[in-house]
Chain A
Amino acid sequence: MPDDKPLTGNMRSDGVALDLKAYERAGGYEGLRKALGGMTPAAVIEEVKDSNLRGRGGAGFPTGLKWSFIPDKAPHPRYVVANGDEMEPGTFKDRILVELDPHQLVEGMILAGYATGADIGYAFLRGEYTVGAERVARAIAEAYEAGYLGKDILHSGYSFEIYLHLSAGRYMCGEETGLLNALEGKRANPRAKPPFPPASGLFGKPTTINNVETLCNVPHIIRNGAGWYRGLSRSKDGGTKIYGASGKVKRPGLWELPMGTTIREIIEEHAGGMRDGLQLRGLLPGGASTDFLTGEHLDAPMDFAGVQSVGSRLGTGTMIILDDKTCPVGMVSNLEHFFSQESCGWCTPCWSGLGWAERILRAMEEGRGKPGDLEKLAFQARFWAPGHTFCALAPGAAEPLQSALKHFRADFERHIDEKRCPWK
């Protein structure tokens, strides 16, 4: 295994998933053996805390700290949920993890389970990830057969079951408490927090929810140690990150790179720069629900603090790039259409405001923009601020909108003044 790419270094280039044997050959389940062979759950949590691993689903919450929220005396059954409902536009990193190295996820879940004293794990995958689902299902079966799952794992006395669940298909299922409701067979509406899932989660029981990529890091941290993991990074946040780029770059794709690699390096070296004849106009650094950055921000390191310092969020670390021949209003219109369509319909600013903003943007694109529209859009973006809404969907939707209004204001105004989309 190339030491600097623990997550993807072993993946085959022919698209075939690593089976149990291949995974074990690459050091798979050594982390689990090490943990069950002598580490206490507290020691596992300590190691993960020490590694500075932060959640890869978008919010960046420190993983070890999250695990420590499950109190020792919490009731059973306790659950671990892998959030693989990867529906953030522009984001496809978890997909390769479940399709090409599914045992990594299984081992990560078992370790999370051991650390939090959990009894049952659910791997919750996006409904469209049928290939990944098949491969995760096979990996789970292999893990049961090899004694990594089920009763008395590796004769340690620890037992853990994993079930695979395919989402019925809503963005809201990726919001961790919406996911819990979906797993319970209810509308995938988010839940009020507090109480947080460690206190009252799936079926009302203590629950730990981690992103797929987050969990995939855990076997390597346990196997190789927190110090090694921190060393992989160029920043305070530990480890590597699967970065991605989509849009009109020469080589869209995914690359596992040290945490803190700059935006410029990702776009110019790994994605090959912009396609010929196109200039970079802006980018969403971490999926659709992050603020636009522009050319002046390219030297920002892609880690949690680095992206924040230039006014956006690392999010999922998979960027969408806007070029100078694509209409920014059209792009924002598309994004807001997505968010509006995916609103669960629970809180007013979201279900009502997103629908309104979507219509204003569409009208603008169709040449029906009116003076005052920008003020209405700005008002809506403020209306969807964190704390105003029930969950993070609408605040996420506000980020590309408010930043586009700032960075591309002239383009919006041209739509209104010229009564058409200048790109069409």
Chain B
Amino acid sequence: MATVHVDNQRYEMDDKQNLLQACLQLKMDLPYFCWHPAMGSVGACRQCAVKQFKDESDQHGKIVMACMTPVTEGARISIQDAEAVEFRAAVIEGLMINHPHDCPVCDEGGECHLQDMTVMTGHNYRRYAFEKRTFRNQNLGPFLNHEMNRCIQCYRCVRFYREYAGGNDLNAFALRNIVFFGRDKDGVLENEFAGNLVEVCPTGVFTDKTLKQHYTRKWDLQMAPSVCVHCAVGCNITAAERYGMLRRLVNRYNGEVNGYFLCDRGRFGYEFVNSQRRIRKPLRHGQPVGLEDARAGLRKLAAGGAIGIGSPRASLESNFALRSLVGADYFFAGIPGREAALLKLMLEILGNGPAPAASLREIEHSDAVLVLGEDVTNVAPRMALSLRQAVRQQPMEIAERLRIPLWMDHAVREAVQDEKGPLFIAAASATRLDDVAAATFRGAPDDIARLGFAVAQALDPAAPGPEDLPGQTRELAARIAAALKGAKRPLIVSGPSLGSAAIIQAAANVAWALAGAHLAFTAAEANSMGLAMMEAPALDAAQAATAETAIIVENDLYRRLPAAEVDQLLARFGHVVVLDHLENATTAKAELLIPAATFAEGEGTLMSSEGRLQRFFAALSPTEPVEPSWRLLGGWNTLDEIIRALAEAMPQLAAVREAAPAASFRMEAAKIPRQPHRYSGRTSMLANISVHEPKPPQDADSPLSFSMEGNPKQPPGALQPFFWTPGWNSYQAVNKFQEEIAGRLEAGDPGVPMFASGGGGHAFFNAIPAAFEARAGEWLLAPLFHIYGSEELSREAPAVAELGPQPYVALNPEDAAQFGDEVELMGQRFRVSRIAELPRGVAGIPAGVPPFAGLELPAWSKIQPIQ
């Protein structure tokens, strides 16, 4: 720490920081553009200028950029100094010369950092009297709108896109006051994190194209703290509503999880909530019925004897409500046996093994990583962004040796150049992280597991290893082991994606053979881990169950099992009741179909792949008859009631109570408003229906209110709907809510991590599979994951669907040589995709893409030429 005087006031500042960050951390207002809390300083915009004085007697001082000046003991600076104030106003004036001043028609208006900073510096009178420069905008795909005339050349976009996220199709072109930020030609931005430019851009150059289709100003949005449902990572989001429609999602800062960034599937997948295929009314035999009628029917059928099939995309509460309704013996996890076993294995490893589960923050700070059997970018996308930062950890020591402060981003990158820390990726095919990997290994699932076992044995001779490993693989294992051993914070990433227990066991062995290693598992869906914690038998067991009725909650069984098996299963029951959001093959089989709330309309708790219990809250006001499944299933009036029952019935999930404060929680006797205090139209927005202002809906399930009334102070992290503070209308307001910049939220990072400390000792796994052998005429079908297309709900969002793949069969070019451009698989024709990275004997098919969605993979299958 260092003592620094700011405008003659004495402060303690962290001497590892720069003055801008330190001032912001002390909640001072100092404007900036190019600095970003996750990306550090580059000194481009010159907006954060302050006056620095040599000592107490120095009356003149000099202008310095706060972001480029380290905090030093005894430093004296002034933010209020007249010259500094004039300089900062001049910078804004310079930035605004070419800006179109089109705030009224700009989507950023009302949450624009440029607006905020302009107001903060006091620049308002225009002196520039010449023409403005203009650009031609580009079509960048379905996610982002491009309006370059608004650009202020802060370079944040290219820094994020290229340097942070590893993209290369967005660049800065030309120079002086005509720098163009875009692609070399129109086209979809390739990087999976491009959507973050919406928040990274301080003004309206990159805005949310999906929001544009149903645009609403930020101040008119009713917002709720929520959790992304499009994978198991558990990124925190703010869901935003107006007029009963989910308008958009933005990032919600969680220092331990997603920090400042989301993936594009998470950000843009939300439109399934607004889909035309939503189930909006209860239906019996396809005919609309009233909700009470439907619920009575449900109760009656349940009383007559029913099994319940839960879901990894339904909340703990909804699964528990179903389990309670049908009885524990009749409750089945809605996932196939193999997946259930893999999840159970992962829980066993995290719960009882010595290696703790890594949060995304810990992943980001890992200095050596082995990825075993996962295509992280396409399965757990946000985790891949963290891994991309992890490879910078070891090389950062170069900068430290040169005494370059780590926040000095470009100086660090110039010193480090292309040096990368050790990241090893063993996967079935190429992955989007290969460009930063020290080495990659391609193999069939069994061979990936064998490599993992060999690494574990190289680390600890007590761990079992494969006998007959090829020399090259053994050398690679030794190299990986050496890199992990030499690391301070090693990490093993693995998961169930390739359907292999051996891979997961090998990953555990590696982690356990190392002191201080963390494990990061992926999982398929938002609550896969939570469902597994409920220890229910798998879907396969339901095939033997006897009951009159099957009640299926938020689960399209046709994505779990082959269609014939599902048909067979459902045929066993006299009545099929389905609760879900969207029409699908399973809802088509329902005698009684009841609309279930999505994450945006209800609340509940999810357990992420890290083992973090996180609560999401409704952003949309309750609209009959759409209710969360747990309420529809009956027995509980409020969320707190069911949570209490759940915690009592399942001690392993008792911590669910701590995921967020109970509904009775108050901030100084007041609720927490979902609407900003500037929310407009309250008295008039429904005047076409009634001129009487309706009473705001009551929320008995949370401490949040569906109105602008309430306490605007900072609530506990799990309850914070949005970040706003006077003068800071953009997302950058988050600075004001953190303990330290880019650190923990002052009111606590949301979520209860269940496996953060690691358990006791655990014996090494020793079931090492035999080496993979290709077969003649048959291929091992392995899933290839797609960020856009493999996940069920986001497939229903038009923008995401646009980027998804058509079904294909991928083969190694040598294997494909015997076929033409199409092959026959399972009696259907498919396009052949030739992928050199795919091992021979393995055929890749797109995971979750019909007609492959219900296949349990990997599986052997014949592939034939087209007759």
Min C-beta distance of B570 to chain A, whole Å: 61
Which of the segments B411-419, B501-509, B635-643, B657-665 contacts the partner chain?
A: B411-419
Establish whether residues B411 and A191, one from each chain, have CB atoms under 8 Å apart when the complex forms: yes
| Chain A residue with Cβ nearest B154 | A348
Establish whether residues B176 and A351, one from each chain, have CB atoms under 8 Å apart when the complex forms: yes
Which of the segments A47-55, A87-95, A386-394 contacts the partner chain?
A: A386-394
Residue A192 contacts which of B42, B47, B63 (CB distance < 8 angstroms)?
Answer: B42
Q: Which residues does B use to contact A, with CB under 8 Å?
A: 42-47, 49, 62-64, 68, 87, 90-91, 94-95, 97-98, 127-130, 152-153, 155, 172, 174-179, 398, 402-404, 408, 410-411, 414-417
Residue A355 contacts which of B44, B155, B174, B177 (CB distance < 8 angstroms)?
Answer: B177
Distance A411 CA – B43 CA, assembled complex (angstroms)? 37
Distance A199 CA – B155 CA, assembled complex (angstroms)? 26
| Chain B residue with Cβ nearest A350 | B176
Establish whether residues B130 and A359, one from each chain, have CB atoms under 8 Å apart when the complex forms: yes
Establish whether residues A204 and B130, one from each chain, have CB atoms under 8 Å apart when the complex forms: no
CB-CB under 8 A from A310, the residues of chain B are: none
Min C-beta distance of B561 to chain A, whole Å: 53
Distance A356 CA – B132 CA, assembled complex (angstroms)? 10
CB-CB under 8 A from A353, the residues of chain B are: 90, 94
Establish whether residues A200 and B179, one from each chain, have CB atoms under 8 Å apart when the complex forms: no
Establish whether residues B417 and A204, one from each chain, have CB atoms under 8 Å apart when the complex forms: yes
CB-CB under 8 A from A180, the residues of chain B are: 414
Task: Say yes or no: is A354 at the interface (Cβ < 8 Å to chain B).
Answer: yes
Q: Which residues does A use to contact B, with CB under 8 Å?
A: 170, 172, 180, 187, 191-192, 194-195, 199-200, 203-204, 340-349, 351-356, 359, 363, 370, 376, 379, 383, 385, 387-390
Min C-beta distance of A395 to chain B, whole Å: 12
| Chain B residue with Cβ nearest A74 | B402
Instruction: Add 15 more A-B contacts to A172-B175, A344-B176 (CB < 8 A).
Output: A191-B410, A204-B398, A204-B414, A340-B176, A340-B177, A344-B175, A345-B175, A345-B176, A348-B91, A349-B94, A352-B94, A352-B177, A355-B97, A355-B176, A389-B46
Min C-beta distance of B355 to chain A, whole Å: 35
| Chain B residue with Cβ nearest A197 | B414
Distance A355 CA – B87 CA, assembled complex (angstroms)? 18
Establish whether residues B153 and A387, one from each chain, have CB atoms under 8 Å apart when the complex forms: no
Distance A355 CA – B94 CA, assembled complex (angstroms)? 10
**What 3 A-B pairs come out closest when comparing CB atoms?**
A352-B94, A345-B179, A200-B415
Using A349-B90, A356-B94 as known contacts, say yes or no to A204 and B175 having CB atoms under 8 A apart. Answer: no
Distance A409 CA – B398 CA, assembled complex (angstroms)? 52
Most buried by B among A347, A348, A352, A359: A348
Distance A355 CA – B132 CA, assembled complex (angstroms)? 11
Residue B62 contacts which of A340, A348, A370, A387 (CB distance < 8 angstroms)?
Answer: A387
Establish whether residues A343 and B127, one from each chain, have CB atoms under 8 Å apart when the complex forms: no
Distance A66 CA – B414 CA, assembled complex (angstroms)? 20
Distance A383 CA – B127 CA, assembled complex (angstroms)? 15
| Chain B residue with Cβ nearest A354 | B176
| Chain A residue with Cβ nearest B175 | A345
CB-CB under 8 A from B179, the residues of chain A are: 345, 351
Distance A191 CA – B417 CA, assembled complex (angstroms)? 13
Distance A390 CA – B91 CA, assembled complex (angstroms)? 13
29 contacts between A and B (CB under 8 A): A187-B172, A191-B410, A192-B42, A192-B408, A199-B402, A200-B404, A200-B411, A200-B415, A203-B417, A204-B417, A343-B175, A343-B177, A345-B172, A345-B174, A345-B177, A345-B178, A348-B45, A348-B46, A348-B152, A349-B46, A352-B98, A353-B90, A353-B94, A356-B97, A383-B87, A383-B94, A387-B63, A387-B64, A388-B46
Distance A58 CA – B781 CA, assembled complex (angstroms)? 67
Most buried by A among B176, B410, B415, B417: B176
| Chain A residue with Cβ nearest B130 | A359
Residue B410 contacts which of A192, A340, A348, A389 (CB distance < 8 angstroms)?
Answer: A192
Distance A387 CA – B63 CA, assembled complex (angstroms)? 7
Most buried by B among A352, A356, A359, A390: A352
CB-CB under 8 A from B44, the residues of chain A are: 346-348, 390
Distance A337 CA – B336 CA, assembled complex (angstroms)? 70
Distance A344 CA – B42 CA, assembled complex (angstroms)? 15
Establish whether residues B155 and A346, one from each chain, have CB atoms under 8 Å apart when the complex forms: yes
Min C-beta distance of A359 to chain B, whole Å: 4
Residue B94 contacts which of A172, A187, A348 (CB distance < 8 angstroms)?
Answer: A348
Establish whether residues A342 and B45, one from each chain, have CB atoms under 8 Å apart when the complex forms: no
Using A187-B172, A203-B417, A347-B45 as known contacts, say yes or no to A192 and B90 having CB atoms under 8 A apart. Answer: no
Distance A347 CA – B65 CA, assembled complex (angstroms)? 11
Min C-beta distance of A282 to chain B, whole Å: 27
Establish whether residues B128 and A348, one from each chain, have CB atoms under 8 Å apart when the complex forms: no
Establish whether residues B127 and A376, one from each chain, have CB atoms under 8 Å apart when the complex forms: yes
Distance A361 CA – B704 CA, assembled complex (angstroms)? 59
CB-CB under 8 A from A200, the residues of chain B are: 402, 404, 411, 414-415
CB-CB under 8 A from A344, the residues of chain B are: 175-176
| Chain A residue with Cβ nearest B41 | A192
Residue B90 contacts which of A342, A354, A383 (CB distance < 8 angstroms)?
Answer: A383
CB-CB under 8 A from A389, the residues of chain B are: 46
Min C-beta distance of A25 to chain B, whole Å: 43
Establish whether residues A191 and B90, one from each chain, have CB atoms under 8 Å apart when the complex forms: no
Distance A195 CA – B402 CA, assembled complex (angstroms)? 8
Establish whether residues A195 and B415, one from each chain, have CB atoms under 8 Å apart when the complex forms: yes
Establish whether residues B49 and A388, one from each chain, have CB atoms under 8 Å apart when the complex forms: yes
Residue A343 contacts which of B46, B49, B91, B176 (CB distance < 8 angstroms)?
Answer: B176
CB-CB under 8 A from B410, the residues of chain A are: 191-192
Establish whether residues B43 and A192, one from each chain, have CB atoms under 8 Å apart when the complex forms: yes
Using A191-B410, A195-B411 as known contacts, say yes or no to A347 and B176 having CB atoms under 8 A apart. Answer: no
Distance A346 CA – B43 CA, assembled complex (angstroms)? 9
Distance A387 CA – B44 CA, assembled complex (angstroms)? 12
CB-CB under 8 A from A347, the residues of chain B are: 43-46
CB-CB under 8 A from A342, the residues of chain B are: 175-176
Distance A385 CA – B62 CA, assembled complex (angstroms)? 11
CB-CB under 8 A from B155, the residues of chain A are: 346
CB-CB under 8 A from B176, the residues of chain A are: 340-345, 351, 354-355
Distance A199 CA – B403 CA, assembled complex (angstroms)? 10
Distance A379 CA – B83 CA, assembled complex (angstroms)? 12
Distance A94 CA – B515 CA, assembled complex (angstroms)? 60
